[in-house]
Amino acid sequence: MADDLSDVRFLTVAEVAAIMRVSKMTVYRLVHAGELPAIRFGRSFRVPESAIADAVRGGVAHTA
């Protein structure tokens, strides 16, 4: 049986950026670099909410 995705919450790039307090471009960079998992719906990306906590715990951060 396939994984049950009914209780998985997906966030938009804008929502992820607000939660992480970074720009949307930073979120796109993380997604394209494979550092933040995301799925594509049409032309937009959605990030599983659980991936945000994992990314923060794992120390995903880019400094200038």
Task: Report domain extents, the chain.
Answer: 14-58
pLDDT band at 59 (very low <50, low <70, confident <90, very high): low
Query: Which has more pLDDT, 17 or 8?
Result: 17
pLDDT score, position 2: 52
Strands (E), 1-64: 10-12, 39-41, 44-48
User: Which of 54, 46, 42 is closest to 28 using CA atoms?
Assistant: 46
pLDDT score, position 1: 44
